[in-house]
């Protein structure tokens, strides 16, 4: 098995301790950081399918998530550009009721790398906290909301509504996460949706300079 395939399989198995070493070995062998990240994302998708099929349960999903996060820590310096320009502040968080943060963390990392200051509110973030963060930080250009559960999509809608009704200005709202579609994004009045972290950073730059 190639090193990169080994990374995929060990993330699926949630082998947290050996993942950092394996990812480093894959990098040393010349695998691209973007490709290693992609196999880890694929691994999480397999884990989700196994969960849906009742083959694994929440604890297995959790250890797989931890393993992926450890791998991303090793990849981070290879994925970020080190752009030090300041395009403004991006507030990011996973919406209320939702504890998924891997995708949100990747989006935060890529947006930071594109030249924004990122204020990460974490997971299970109530709409009031997003508003407070816009009020308390300077030059907020982007508010990014992540959601991975169909059951928390209403919380995303409520968050966008509250931000739009807050009379605060100068920022655009981006939404994303596996169940979110462009149609849902426009239905809830978000300013932008993108399917992944790389395109989120490109879109954030576009929105901030519009």
> Can you give the binding site for ligand B12, defined by CB under 6 A?
41, 44-45, 47-48, 51-52, 58, 61-62, 65, 97-104, 106-107, 144-146, 148-151, 174-179, 194, 196-197, 200
Report the nearest approach of ligand B12 to the CB of residue 2 (Å): 21
DSSP code, position 116: -
Report the nearest approach of ligand B12 to the CB of residue 139 (Å): 19
Report the nearest approach of ligand B12 to the CB of residue 136 (Å): 20
Report the nearest approach of ligand B12 to the CB of residue 156 (Å): 10
Q: Which long-range contacts (CB under 8 A, 24 or more apart) does 193-198 make?
A: 197/103, 197/106, 197/107, 197/109, 197/110, 198/110
Q: Which residues of 143-182 are buried (b: 16+ CB within 10 A; e: fewer)?
A: bbbbbbbeebbebbbbbbeebeeeeeeebbbbbbbbebee
CA 180, CA 148: separation in Å to the nearest integer?
A: 8
Report the nearest approach of ligand B12 to the CB of residue 32 (Å): 16
Nearer to ligand B12, 134 or 174 (CB): 174
Nearer to ligand B12, 29 or 55 (CB): 55
Nearer to ligand B12, 28 or 45 (CB): 45
Nearer to ligand B12, 29 or 62 (CB): 62
CA 176, CA 193: separation in Å to the nearest integer?
A: 6
Tokens of 210: 């519009």
CA 134, CA 143: separation in Å to the nearest integer?
A: 8
**Environment class of residue 194 by beta-carbon count within 10 Å: exposed (0-12), middle (13-18) or buried (19+)?**
buried
Nearer to ligand B12, 1 or 58 (CB): 58
């Amino acid at each position: 098995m190639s090193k990169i395939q080994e990374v995929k399989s060990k993330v699926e198995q949630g082998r947290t301790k050996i993942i950092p070493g394996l990812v480093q070995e894959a990098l040393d062998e010349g695998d691209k950081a973007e490709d290693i990240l992609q196999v880890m994302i694929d691994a999480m998708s397999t884990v989700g399918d196994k969960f849906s099929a009742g083959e694994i349960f929440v604890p297995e999903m959790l250890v797989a998530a931890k393993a992926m996060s450890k791998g991303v820590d090793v990849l981070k310096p290879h994925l970020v550009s080190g752009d030090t320009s300041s395009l403004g502040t991006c507030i990011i968080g996973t919406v209320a009721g939702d504890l998924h943060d891997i995708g949100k963390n990747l989006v935060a990392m890529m947006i930071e790398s594109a030249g924004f200051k990122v204020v990460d509110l974490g997971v299970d973030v109530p709409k009031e906290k997003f508003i407070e963060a816009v009020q308390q930080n300077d030059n907020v250009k982007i508010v990014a909301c992540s959601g991975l559960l169909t059951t928390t999509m209403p919380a995303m809608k409520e968050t966008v509504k509250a931000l739009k009704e807050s009379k605060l200005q100068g920022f655009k709202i981006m939404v994303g996460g596996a169940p979110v579609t462009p149609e849902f994004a426009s239905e809830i009045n978000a300013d932008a949706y993108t399917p992944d972290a790389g395109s989120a950073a490109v879109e954030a730059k576009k929105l901030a300079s519009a």
